[in-house]
Structure 1
Amino acid sequence: MINNKKINTQFNSAVSNVRKTSELVDCSGASVFIIHNDNIVTEEYWGKHSTAPDFREIQKDTQFHVASVRKSYIGFAVAYAVYERYIDSIDDLIVKYFSPNSMPIFNGTTIRHLLTHTHGLKSINGELHREFSPGINWSYRGVGIDMLSQIVKNTTGKSVAEIVANNVFKPLNFTESGWYGEGNEKLVAVIRKPNDPNWTTSKRTDGTKMNMYVSSRELAKWGVLSS
């Protein structure tokens, strides 16, 4: 795994940009970790885990809430299911992997549509609605990610978190990446508006919820693997 350090000033402008952005948004701290030509060339940390007083400083083992970046890990779990032949193809219709009583609204929707946010499905007050026919448009909706997680579970018998842990985190000795049901001192607090429906906490750690935290250094290494 990439551990060689050749720190240089080549990416100082990137660090400066992140610093300026962190000052403009509601942010308590940040970090920049850059890998270039298989070397760690930039590694900087600043600020604290929260705007509240006496919180821990941002440092190497600090884990940030990665929000939608978790979709890349879910995509890996889908790729695993295809590679191991639990799923025949991402162009399969999703009804193939749900119960025989799947809702008609799923008709014409493939796994590829879910992966690319072209499925046209939207959840409104817990009920599914169709915004557009599959494949004719694009819309960023979380319902597709929920369905992918369920397809992975239905086909492999394993959760997204299990697949990623067993095939990525454990072999590479990643100890700062995962889904967390409880807080700890290494996790950065999520700054959000009161009663914001887009940010909820969950005790589930199976990979289906938006409670994934990753350190900058492990996220950078994951990015190299995924490129």
Structure 2
Amino acid sequence: MIVEADKKSFQDLTRYTEDIKEKMHASGAALVIMKDNKFVHEWYSGTHHFAPGARKIDHYSQFNVYSTRVTYVGLAAALAVYEGYLNLDDKLSDYFKQLDKRILGETTVRHLITRCTGLKIKNDTVQRVFDLGTYIEGKRPDLLAEIVEQATGMTVNEILSERVFEPLCLNGTEWVTEGKSTLVCDIHSPGTHPSIRIGSNNGDERNLFVNSRELALWGSLHLNKGLMDGKQILPGGVFNLATTIQSPKGLDQTLPKFGFFWWLKDNQVSWEQNELGKELPEGSYQILGASGCSCLVIPRYNAVAVRMYNSLYTYENKNFDYIHDIQTFGNLVVKELKLN
């Protein structure tokens, strides 16, 4: 059942979500809020692209979530750790035999999932660009996916399909291999042609499409530590691993902290580097994708907030501050939850 947006509930958050849709030049947007395991607010706006006749955004619309997908790879890895196939202290050199072992050194899976390897890896070459565990780098879920497959003999998609997607009937969550009408196009910049990113269904590429309700359910699965509709989908310990700080103890306390790729709220982190708003309580966690899609989990309020966009014009657009945007979104979610 769809919960229609009403004029009194979450109105500031809805208005802000619409404003950002215009500022980032997205053609479509969605906003879904869950509270106490119920959908309490849903709002949809725009179309799958800007051309005439484009399909309207609705609860079936599947957005490419881009980096939000890393938490899916992360959960598969957390499950592999929990079940003994993988260890966070395993060295990367154990899995990437083709790379220079001297440069990889003491770099572990823990450094990889918390984004502080200090390495630049491309094809069969590796460079060290900063000392191990001293700074935060870009995400490499493709490397983690390869490790998971080596350790378990199954791809990320195979693991999640068998253990999560099929038990929960998540039919709107998939690594897309061909086009279809429910897919929302990417808008690269004003005036450019829309596109759809497709790839393999192994779970290691940037082609994960999810509808807004199912991304909220993904957050809810983590919030409830694997319990969904009275059924324990995965052991609670898997989610304890995925959503608690796994960053090395020696990491500078002012740098962002991560679970299995989830950004975790830590008040010691400097605000210019933190994607989580000041009003979010400790224990909150979040993931943000390049297209503007994000999933925010706030255990203190037993709530999940999801927003969806389809614009890749967020980093090149000098008039758009994506850090300020996502911080503002989180702060508004907290404000609205207190009112509702």
Question: Aligned residue for 2:332?
Answer: none
Give yes or no for the alignment of 1:31 onto 2:27. no
Deviates more, 1:199-208 or 1:213-222: 199-208
Question: Aligned residue for 1:113?
Answer: 111
Q: Secondary structure at the match of 1:154?
A: helix
What is the identity, as a one-letter code, of the residue corresponding to 1:92? D
Question: Aligned residue for 1:44?
Answer: 43
- Give matches, 1:18-97, under 5 Å: 18-87=17-86, 89-97=87-95
Give yes or no for the alignment of 1:212 onto 2:211. no
Displacement of 1:162 after TM fit? 0.8
Q: Secondary structure at the match of 2:57?
A: coil
5+ residue gaps, structure 2, are 224-340
Cα distance, 1:26–1:127 mapped onto 2, change above 3 Å: farther
| Identical aligned residues as a percent | 36
Q: Secondary structure at the match of 2:134?
A: coil
Give yes or no for the alignment of 1:163 onto 2:155. no
5+ residue gaps, structure 1, are none
Q: Distance in 2 between matches of 1:128 and 1:139?
A: 15
1:192 alignment partner, one of 159, 174, 188: 188
Question: Aligned residue for 2:284?
Answer: none
Question: What CA deviation, in whole Å up to 9, does each residue of 1:84-133 have, x standing for no partner?
Answer: 2111x21222223344x542222211111110111112246874322112
Deviates more, 1:50-59 or 1:132-141: 132-141
What is the identity, as a one-letter code, of the residue corresponding to 1:140? G
What is the identity, as a one-letter code, of the residue corresponding to 1:57? K
1:150 alignment partner, one of 141, 146, 154: 146
Question: Aligned residue for 2:100?
Answer: 103
Displacement of 1:6 after TM fit? 9.3
Q: Distance in 1 between matches of 2:36 and 2:4?
A: 10
Question: What CA deviation, in whole Å up to 9, does each residue of 1:42-70 have, x standing for no partner?
Answer: 01111100012211110111000100000
Give yes or no for the alignment of 1:173 onto 2:169. yes
- Give matches, 1:133-144, under 5 Å: 133-141=131-139, 144=140
What is the identity, as a one-letter code, of the residue corresponding to 1:226? H
What is the identity, as a one-letter code, of the residue corresponding to 1:147? L
Q: Distance in 1 between matches of 2:4 and 2:46?
A: 24
The question of whether the paired residues in 2 share the 8 Å contact of 1:4 and 1:39 is answered with no
Q: Secondary structure at the match of 1:118?
A: coil
The question of whether the paired residues in 1 share the 8 Å contact of 2:172 and 2:211 is answered with yes
Q: Distance in 1 between matches of 2:207 and 2:19?
A: 27
The question of whether the paired residues in 1 share the 8 Å contact of 2:179 and 2:196 is answered with no
Q: Distance in 2 between matches of 1:208 and 1:124?
A: 15
Question: Aligned residue for 2:12?
Answer: 13
Q: Secondary structure at the match of 1:138?
A: coil
TM value normalised by structure 1: 0.87
Q: Distance in 2 between matches of 1:201 and 1:49?
A: 14
Q: Secondary structure at the match of 1:108?
A: coil
The alignment's C-alpha RMSD in Å is 2.5
Q: Secondary structure at the match of 2:126?
A: strand
Displacement of 1:7 after TM fit? 6.7
Deviates more, 1:210-219 or 1:117-126: 117-126
Q: Secondary structure at the match of 2:59?
A: coil
What is the identity, as a one-letter code, of the residue corresponding to 1:31? A
The question of whether the paired residues in 2 share the 8 Å contact of 1:5 and 1:39 is answered with no
Q: Secondary structure at the match of 1:85?
A: coil
Q: Secondary structure at the match of 2:209?
A: strand
The question of whether the paired residues in 1 share the 8 Å contact of 2:80 and 2:148 is answered with yes
Q: Distance in 1 between matches of 2:199 and 2:69?
A: 16
Give yes or no for the alignment of 1:129 onto 2:127. yes
